[in-house]
Structure 1
Amino acid sequence: MDHSFTASVFIGTSVDGFIAREDGDLGWLISRGEAAGGGEGYGYPDFMSTVDTVVMGRATYEAVTASGWWEYDGKHVAVLSSRLPADRDPRITVYPDLDRLIAGLTDRGTKSVYVDGGQTIRTFLQAGLVQQITITQVPVLIGSGIPLFGPLEADISLTLLSAQALKAGLVQTTYAVEN
């Protein structure tokens, strides 16, 4: 797939690899992040300063808007969804499929994409579009929920770029994706 941008993931998970509970609840993540001094952002603000576009799926978009948290001003926000109406929100552009999303981002001259949301991350990984993944692991087992990763058509090799222990037992690892 021809495209003009790099794509990166920056996400928090439980130690057992979940990004949210089955119902989308993030309380386990938010409370521990705040207890660990989450105001520091653990590199998130610096990461966000490097991207011009945020891509997420419908479920992530709906979770973000329901929470009232919108920190994407100044960024192009693209939502990958075949069910979300195109005129749902003037802050976003809805793309019904990956091919149209990639064409739209390329036409816009997009340079650096932040990919968010489990399904969208998996879609980008399967398509070979992700160059870097940063995972902040929270020291909790939640037992079940929405996994960050799922079945793959083939192995995706990663190269460790950095690993660091953060406050309150959080561990952040950054990998280059070998596409």
Structure 2
Amino acid sequence: MDIKCSVFIAASVDGFIARPDGDIEWLHRPEYETAQLNGLTYDSFIATVDALVMGRKTLEKVVSFPEWPYKGTPVIALSHQSLALPAHVQGKVEVMSADVTTLVKQLAERGMKHLYIDGGQTIQAFLEAGLIDELIITRIPVLLGKGVPLFSQIGSERELRHVGTYVSQNGFVQSTYRVVEAT
């Protein structure tokens, strides 16, 4: 399979991607929105992907946003349950229930070359299946204390190779890692 799977995500310094209730408003402080960022911007990253793959919980959060953030990017939602998609995302989201290895194979057969993997459980499933090639993690200068962890306590050890780190004046620290294939 010649398809790249990347994670592009923000996390608190203590490793959480959301508050316990899924809230991510802590990411949208005014000083964050206006800051000059060093490293890979979201817009530059999203321009390189063929589709975004997320889990049901992430989709439920995203459809609550005032506007759809993935204009022009196909979104694949993983769910083993049927999902009732709100009208404003119909035709923009495809729901698939395959395991992650089969899903990546199916998307590669469609000609996709680069997938953006998002959502805690989905990232974990892709990591556990050995499908993640790259992790781009931006640490936000806040301690949430508790919440949805970026990495769970289950899973197997993965070796990473550091590619680069960028520090922005607002305190964001973005590091890129390549996942080393298990031998």
TM (norm. structure 2) is 0.87
Alignment of 1:143-154 (within 5 A): 143-154=145-156
5+ residue gaps in structure 2?
A: none
TM (norm. structure 1) is 0.89
Letter in 1 for 2:5: A
Q: Deviations over 1:70-112 (max 9, x none)?
A: 2322222101111243776321111113244224312311110
Distance 2:105 2:176 in 1: 28
How far is the alpha carbon of 1:38 from its aligned partner? Answer: 4.6
Letter in 2 for 1:35: E
126-135 vs 98-107, greater mean Cα deviation: 98-107
Alpha-carbon RMSD:
1.9
Q: Is the contact made by 1:4 and 1:109 (CA closer than 8 Å) also made in structure 2?
A: no
- Kindly, what percent of the aligned residue pairs are identical? 41
Alignment of 1:126-141 (within 5 A): 126-141=128-143
- Compare the two structures and name the one with the higher helix fraction: 1
Q: Which 4+ runs in 1 deviate beyond 6 A?
A: none
Q: Is the contact made by 1:79 and 1:94 (CA closer than 8 Å) also made in structure 2?
A: yes
5+ residue gaps in structure 1?
A: none
How far is the alpha carbon of 1:164 from its aligned partner? Answer: 1.3
Aligned length: 175
9-18 vs 161-170, greater mean Cα deviation: 161-170
Q: Name the counterpart of 1:173.
A: 175
Is the alpha carbon distance of 1:70 and 1:47 closer, same or farther for their aligned partners in structure 2, counting shifts above 3 Å?
A: same
Alignment of 1:37-116 (within 5 A): 37-38=33-34, 43-85=41-83, 89-98=90-99, 99-116=101-118
Residue aligned with 1:167, SS: coil
